[in-house]
């Protein structure tokens, strides 16, 4: 049985929202609710923080529903009931894991790179792999008309592989996309 990845570190700005405390991630500006926190402590709101936790896509906020009189209760759109949530979150002094976003979050956080990310996901599926098992490094390099995305497989973040150098878990790689068309050109395996 494959080990589940441990918590990862996410850098961002602490903000208070109507639905609770959120971390607005530095890369892409996507917001993740922080499970168990109604608000940030005094002095934390508006600050850059590093939060360690598991980022999951789940129902966190109440969903709007029709009452017996036909009126709507307050809540999120029932067609889109899930949000990104940091579970088991704790504020840490500095990031110890690479800055990554789940593939699905990267697609929505970076609309200008969506075509490349969709092409990468299709390339992974064509190889019989599940794109949801991958995280995308937040630093994307541009070289000679190509965008280079670091793809971290979840196996790299298991407790056994966490501090390994090279290609922990054997499934991490870079994906090169054509900058103008967004088409995947090739995968380059990490050594």
Residue 1 has what pLDDT? Answer: 42
What is the chain's alpha carbon radius of gyration, rounded to the nearest angstrom? 18
- Given a contact cutoff of 8 angstroms between Cβ atoms, the answer to whether 153 and 172 are in contact is yes
Alpha helices (H) along 37-134: 103-109, 114-126
Domain ranges of the chain: 8-92, 100-189
What percentage of the chain carries pLDDT values higher than 70? 97
Pick from 131, 135, 127: nearest CA to 5: 135
**pLDDT by residue (tens digit) across 56-112?**
999 998 888 888 888 888 888 888 888 999 999 999 998 888 889 999 898 888 888
Q: How confident is the prediction along the chain (191 residues), in pLDDT tens digits per residue?
A: 445 567 899 999 999 999 999 999 987 778 999 999 999 998 899 999 999 999 999 999 888 888 888 888 888 888 888 899 999 999 999 888 888 999 989 888 888 899 999 999 999 999 999 999 999 998 899 989 999 999 999 988 887 777 777 787 789 999 999 999 999 999 999 98
Residue 148: name the closest of 135, 137, 134, 156 by CA. 137
What pTM was computed for the model?
0.81
């Amino acid at each position: 049985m494959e080990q589940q990845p441990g918590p990862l570190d996410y850098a961002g700005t602490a903000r208070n929202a109507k639905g609770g405390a959120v971390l607005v991630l530095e890369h892409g500006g996507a917001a993740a609710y922080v499970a168990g926190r109604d608000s940030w402590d005094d002095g934390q709101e508006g600050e850059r923080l590093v939060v360690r936790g598991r980022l999951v896509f789940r129902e966190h906020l109440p969903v709007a529903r029709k009452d017996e009189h036909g009126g709507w209760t307050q809540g999120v759109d029932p067609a889109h009931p899930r949000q990104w949530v940091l579970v088991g979150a704790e504020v840490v002094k500095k990031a110890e894991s690479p800055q990554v976003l789940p593939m699905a979050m990267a697609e929505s956080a970076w609309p200008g790179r969506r075509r490349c990310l969709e092409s990468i996901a299709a390339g992974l599926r064509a190889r019989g792999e599940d794109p949801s098992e991958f995280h995308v490094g937040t630093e994307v390099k541009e070289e000679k008309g190509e965008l280079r995305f670091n793809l971290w497989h979840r196996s790299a973040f298991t407790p056994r592989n966490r501090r390994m150098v090279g290609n922990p878990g054997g499934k991490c790689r870079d994906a090169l996309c054509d900058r103008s068309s967004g088409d995947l050109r090739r995968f380059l395996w990490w050594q």
